[in-house]
Every structure is written in structure tokens, then in C-alpha cells.
């Protein structure tokens, strides 16, 4: 009897254990699917899947920079496919060139205000609440002359805290505008910027912890042009033969309004409509054979593949932080969130119009008239070939999806320093994108307060497109990218994924640079 009772007890124990394990497994599946499908009507970065009717992945296509345009089956949610707009065309808005308040010797003074406004995106749509710098939407272009000191009075006219982050500027951490430099509503702060880096196209945007993604989505983004005399051989008449394009994707409500809360996705908020400088379906009248276009990917999460139609030819001349070592003819230019590029577009063989497309969708049409010819001299920089097998001083592993993202297994803690570095020391960092069970997604990795060089991708030399200065670099799933950097300013700087929702969910760390 005792033996029989013992056998029954063991049987019951195994049964209960099996039920418990099964229950835990089901719970994990439910939780995972809940995260995976959160707002699953949203687009995901670098995921080429479509809705349930067209969910097969496209064949992998390689872009000119050697990176995979598709990244394989991510499994991080459904994609919002970009749509061609049937809105009436409108002239491309050119951001205002901000005029200095005053110039005293070698010091230039500006004022920048973060403000609330309204914007109507569709002819028959309702007005949306938007944010802007010195206006309703987006912001001005601020010229930063190399060798000068620029003082900017920043004012927060919003009803919530914000910061003013100068993306790509090599400046001390206390001027950088990261999450530690919050400006409360109604308050102001002054930044002093000593400009000593290559001529380049940079940008500025908010960086407050917990609301960066929403504030950018609502319109806070402006332009910074570092300039010097070496650029005089290039097209440089602002708004005529030298134009900026802040390219973003947005999803609108049926009545044509922006609604971040309704459309937010923890794996990166994307949309089906392309905006160029805040406008839909734009046109630009070309007056010269060669047009200089400064492209900024200002989206929260979407990568863009830019192409041209009708025999227009595109040549890249600069990366995030300045000129390339030589001009690079392109058919496709890929930019991840936060990246910039300068290109020259040759219209000499175009008869009527040429379309600029993102992921195959036209968003700006160039109309060709009588074209002036101009002599162009493209500045270049010398680069030193670096060994692709240099030993890494730091290794950073990016991992996760949605609200479960990390760097080296940790989420961001403003009280924790993750890396200690010395000013003037040159280091090699290896950034690994560790795929998750769904395959992973491309992470654009950004470091504040420094410009770096890409040494290698999976042990191979970078493409010619990546041989200029960078502050943001795309890291594909299961890829390792080595970069070389030297901090020249001190303080605590951020490094993070520039998918803004990933950044806010903790895919961010801090490096403290001391003397």
C-alpha cells in the first residue's frame, strides 16, 4: 500500500509539474506576442514585410554602401508601406536662414525658441498641433562659421520640458543638449559653441528622456551648417543651388492630423506618408545644371533608400561630418535615422522633370527649365587606410526589441557611467548588433560630442561612402562594426540607438570623458 501510495504521489507530482511548466510557457508566449504585436499596424525600421496579404519578404537587395537594404525577416511588427500622395503639388518649403541677433568680433549670437504651433498638411485636412523652432513646424538653418564662437540663447515656449541637442557638433558635454540639460517650460539657457570641425551638414533636435520621440514627431528639427571658405567651389547659394531636405515619414488620422499617441510603436514609430521639409508632394524649380542637396533622415525609425529618375545623376560628396575623400557616383543612397549626406545632382541630361524617390515613392519633383552652367570644385579630405583587424578597446552589444532593448545587457541609467575615457586618447569601439529570436533590426548607432571613422564591417573595409567623418552608423543584425574615435571635449556624453523609441526605452549609455 505504501509503495502504491508513493507511486501515486510521484505521478501527481509529475502531473502538477507539467501543468506548471506548460502554464509558464503559455504565459511567456502571450507576453511575447503582446510586445511583438503592440500597435502592430505600425511600420518597423528596415523591415520589408507588408500587411497580412503581402507578408512575404522581398529578395535581399544590396545598396551602394554595401549594406543589406532588407535585413531579412525581422518579425518586429507589421510595416506601414510608403504610399504615393495624390495631394496637389506645392513648392518645396526652404527653411529660413536664421539671421544673427548680432555679431561682435569673432562671436555670433542667435536666439532659438521651441514653440507650439499648428500646421495643415493636407488641402482638405484639419490643422494639427505641431512643434517648431522659431515657427510652427521644423526650424531654421543656422550657419556656424568655422573658427568662430556661436552663442545661442535657447528658450522653451512649450508646456513641457525639452532640450536643445546639437547633433554632430564636437562640443563640451554641458553644451550638448542631452537629457541632462533639460530646459523647463518658460525657461531659457545659453550655450556657447566654439566651432572647430569640418564643414558639414548637422542638425538639432530635442533630447529629453521620455519625450524625445514625440517632440521630434511633432516637428522639432532644425539645420546646422558648419561653413568655411573651402566650400566656395561648391554650389552655395542657399535655397537656389544649395538646398536642404529634411525627410521624414508620418502617419495621419483620417482627418489629416498628426496623433503620436495613437500611432506610437515601441519598436519605432513610422508612417505611410513622406514629408520633405514638412510638406507633402513638393516641387522645386531647378535653375542650374548641378544642384547641391543636403539630405537629413529626420524620421523616428525608418531608413530611406533615395533614388532619382529620368537620367538625373547623383554623386555623394559628404557624410555626416564632412567631405568624402573623393566624390562617389551613386544610383541609391541609403540613410538611417539621424544620418546625413550631401549629394550633387546633375540635371544636364534631363529634359523636363526628375523625381527624387524614397523607397521607390516620389516625394519631390525637380522641374527643369533653362539651366545655368557653373564651374564646380569639390573639396576632399585625405584619409588614412586603417587596419581592419585592429583590436577593439570597447565592445558594445545592442540587443532587443520594443521596450526590451539594451546595450551590454543594461538599460539606460542617468546615474550610471558606462565608459570612462580620457580626452585625446584614440580608441577603437566594436558595435555588435545581436539578433533576437525574431531576427533583429538595423540599429543606427549615434555618439554625442565626437566624429568618428568607420574601420570595418565584419572585418571588411568600409565602402568609399563611409570613409568620411561620421557620428551615426548603421549596424545591421548579426553585424559587427568597428569605429575609431578621439574625444577632444570633456564631460558625460550619450551614445545610443537613433531609433527614437529604442533610445527612450533604454538602448542608451554614457561615456564620461576626463582630462
Task: Look up cell 550657419; give the residue.
Answer: 143
**To the nearest 10°, the Cα dihedral for 339, 344, 350, 353?**
40
Predicted pLDDT at 379? 76
Q: Based on C-alpha coordinates, what's the Rg of the chain?
A: 24
- 511 with 419: CB under 8 angstroms? yes
Residue 358: how many other CB atoms lie within 10 Å: 25
Q: What pLDDT sits at residue 7?
A: 41
pLDDT band at 373 (very low <50, low <70, confident <90, very high): confident
Residue 281 C-alpha cell reads as: 508632394
* Residue 151 bridge partners (DSSP): 109, 192
Domains by residue range for the chain, with CATH: 90-230 (2.60.40.420), 242-372 (2.60.40.420), 394-514 (2.60.40.420)
Q: Are 172 and 491 in contact (CB under 8 A)?
A: yes
pLDDT tens readout for residues 444-499: 999 999 999 999 999 999 999 999 999 999 999 999 999 999 999 999 999 999 99
Q: Residue count of the chain, please give it.
A: 515
* Cα separation, 442 vs 457, whole angstroms: 14
CA distance 470 to 463: 13
CB 227 within 8 A of CB 199: yes
pTM: 0.85
pLDDT tens digits along 377-410? 887 777 666 667 789 999 999 999 888 999 999 9
Q: How far apart are CA 504 and CA 173, in angstroms?
A: 19
CA separation (Å) from 482 to 198, 257, 326? 22, 42, 22
- Residue found by looking up cell 505641431 in the block: 130
Asked if pLDDT for residue 19 goes beyond 80, the answer is: no
DSSP string, 51-74: SGGG-SPPPP-B-TTS-BSS-S--
- Residue 365, φ and ψ in degrees, nearest 5: -110, 125
Residue 175 grid cell = 553644451
Does residue 72 surpass a pLDDT of 50? no
Indicate whether 9 pLDDT > 60. no
Residue with cell 488620422: 253
* Burial of 20 from C-beta contacts in 10 A (0-12 / 13-18 / 19+): exposed
- What integer is the mean pLDDT of 148-154? 99
Residue 434 pLDDT: 96
Residues 6 or more apart in contact with residue 103 via CB below 8 angstroms: 109
Q: Which helix (H) or strand (E) holds 200?
A: strand 200-205
How many whole angstroms separate alpha carbon 425 and alpha carbon 41? 46
pLDDT digits (tens, 9 = 90+) for 213-264: 999 999 999 999 999 988 889 999 999 999 999 999 999 999 999 999 999 9
- What is the pLDDT, as a whole number, of residue 377? 81
Q: Can you give the pLDDT at residue 375?
A: 73
pLDDT single digits (tens) 315-364: 999 999 999 999 999 999 999 999 999 999 999 999 999 999 999 999 99
406-421 burial, b at 16+ Cβ within 10 Å, e below that, comes to bbeeebbeeeeebbeb
From the number of C-beta atoms within 10 Å of its C-beta (0-12, 13-18, 19+), residue 404 rates as middle
Residue 374: closest CA among 288, 284, 287: 288
The helix or strand, by DSSP H or E, that contains position 297, with its residue range, turns out to be strand 290-297
Poorest-pLDDT segment among 55-69, 145-159, 178-192: 55-69
Count of Cβ atoms closer than 10 Å to residue 18 Cβ: 10
Strand order in the sheet with 90-91: 90-91, 282-288, 361-372, 353-358, 304-308, 333-335
Res. 178 pLDDT band, cuts 50 70 90: very high
Over pLDDT 90: what percentage of the chain? 77
| 3-state secondary structure at position 206 | coil
Q: 77 versus 2: which is more confidently predicted?
A: 77
The pLDDT value recorded for residue 34 is: 37
Q: How far is CA 143 from CA 90, 119, 340, in A?
A: 27, 26, 16
**Spatial contact of 495 and 192, defined as CB atoms under 8 Å apart:** no
Average pLDDT, the chain: 87
3-class DSSP assignment, residue 335:
strand
pLDDT of res. 79: 63
Least Cα distance to 112 among 87, 80, 144 occurs for 144
Please check whether residue 443 is in contact with residue 489, taking contact to mean a CB–CB distance below 8 angstroms: no
The answer to whether 465 touches 316, Cβ cutoff 8 Å, is yes
pLDDT band at 78 (very low <50, low <70, confident <90, very high): low
Find out whether 82 and 272 touch, Cβ atoms under 8 Å: yes
Record the cell numbers describing residue 449, joined without a space: 560630442
Q: Which residues contact 255 (CB under 8 A, 6 or more apart)?
A: 125, 126
pLDDT tens figures, 83-141: 999 999 999 999 999 999 999 999 999 999 999 999 999 999 999 999 999 999 999 99
Amino acid at each position: 500500500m505504501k509503495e502504491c501510495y508513493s507511486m501515486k504521489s510521484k505521478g501527481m507530482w509529475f502531473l502538477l509539474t507539467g501543468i506548471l511548466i506548460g502554464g509558464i510557457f503559455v504565459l511567456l508566449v502571450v507576453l511575447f506576442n503582446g510586445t511583438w504585436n503592440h500597435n502592430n499596424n505600425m511600420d518597423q525600421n528596415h523591415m520589408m514585410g507588408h500587411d497580412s496579404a503581402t507578408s512575404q519578404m522581398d529578395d535581399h537587395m544590396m545598396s551602394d554602401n554595401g549594406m543589406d537594404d532588407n535585413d531579412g525577416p525581422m518579425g518586429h511588427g507589421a510595416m506601414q508601406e510608403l504610399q504615393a500622395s495624390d495631394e496637389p503639388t506645392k513648392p518645396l518649403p526652404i527653411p529660413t536662414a536664421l539671421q544673427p541677433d548680432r555679431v561682435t568680433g569673432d562671436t555670433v549670437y542667435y536666439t532659438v525658441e521651441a514653440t507650439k504651433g499648428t500646421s495643415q498638411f493636407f488641402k482638405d485636412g484639419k490643422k494639427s498641433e505641431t512643434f517648431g523652432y522659431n515657427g510652427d513646424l521644423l526650424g531654421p538653418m543656422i550657419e556656424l562659421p568655422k573658427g568662430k564662437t556661436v552663442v545661442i540663447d535657447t528658450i522653451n515656449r512649450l508646456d513641457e520640458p525639452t532640450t536643445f541637442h546639437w547633433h554632430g557638433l564636437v562640443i563640451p558635454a554641458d553644451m550638448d543638449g542631452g537629457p541632462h540639460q533639460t530646459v523647463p517650460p518658460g525657461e531659457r539657457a545659453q550655450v556657447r559653441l566654439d566651432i572647430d570641425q569640418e564643414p558639414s551638414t548637422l542638425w538639432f533636435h530635442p533630447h529629453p528622456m521620455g519625450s524625445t520621440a514625440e517632440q521630434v514627431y511633432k516637428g522639432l528639427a532644425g539645420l546646422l551648417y558648419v561653413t568655411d571658405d573651402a566650400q566656395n567651389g561648391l554650389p552655395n547659394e542657399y535655397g537656389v543651388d544649395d538646398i536642404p531636405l529634411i525627410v521624414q515619414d508620418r502617419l495621419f488620422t483620417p482627418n489629416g492630423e498628426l496623433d503620436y499617441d495613437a500611432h506610437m510603436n515601441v519598436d519605432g514609430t513610422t508612417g505611410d506618408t513622406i514629408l520633405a521639409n514638412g510638406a507633402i508632394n513638393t516641387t522645386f524649380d531647378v535653375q542650374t545644371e548641378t544642384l547641391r542637396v543636403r539630405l537629413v533622415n529626420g524620421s523616428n525609425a525608418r531608413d530611406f533608400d533615395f533614388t532619382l529618375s529620368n537620367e538625373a545623376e547623383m554623386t555623394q560628396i559628404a557624410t555626416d561630418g564632412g567631405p568624402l575623400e573623393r566624390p562617389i557616383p551613386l544610383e541609391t543612397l541609403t540613410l538611417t535615422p539621424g544620418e546625413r549626406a550631401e549629394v550633387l545632382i546633375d540635371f544636364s541630361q534631363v529634359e523636363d522633370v526628375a523625381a527624387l524617390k524614397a523607397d521607390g515613392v516620389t516625394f519631390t519633383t525637380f522641374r527643369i527649365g533653362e539651366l545655368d552652367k557653373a564651374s564646380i570644385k569639390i573639396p576632399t579630405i585625405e584619409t588614412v587606410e586603417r587596419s581592419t583587424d585592429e583590436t577593439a578597446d570597447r565592445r558594445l552589444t545592442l540587443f532587443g526589441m520594443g521596450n526590451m532593448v539594451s546595450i551590454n545587457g543594461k538599460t539606460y541609467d542617468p546615474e550610471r557611467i558606462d565608459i570612462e575615457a580620457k580626452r585625446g586618447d584614440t580608441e577603437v569601439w566594436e558595435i555588435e548588433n545581436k539578433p533576437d529570436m525574431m531576427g533583429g533590426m538595423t540599429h543606427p548607432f549615434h555618439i554625442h560630442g565626437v566624429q568618428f571613422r568607420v574601420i570595418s564591417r565584419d572585418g571588411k573595409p568600409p565602402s568609399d561612402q563611409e570613409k568620411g567623418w561620421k557620428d551615426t552608423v548603421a549596424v545591421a543584425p548579426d553585424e559587427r562594426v568597428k569605429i575609431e574615435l578621439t574625444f577632444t571635449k570633456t564631460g558625460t556624453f550619450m551614445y545610443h540607438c537613433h531609433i527614437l523609441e529604442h533610445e527612450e526605452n533604454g538602448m542608451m549609455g554614457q561615456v564620461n570623458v576626463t582630462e
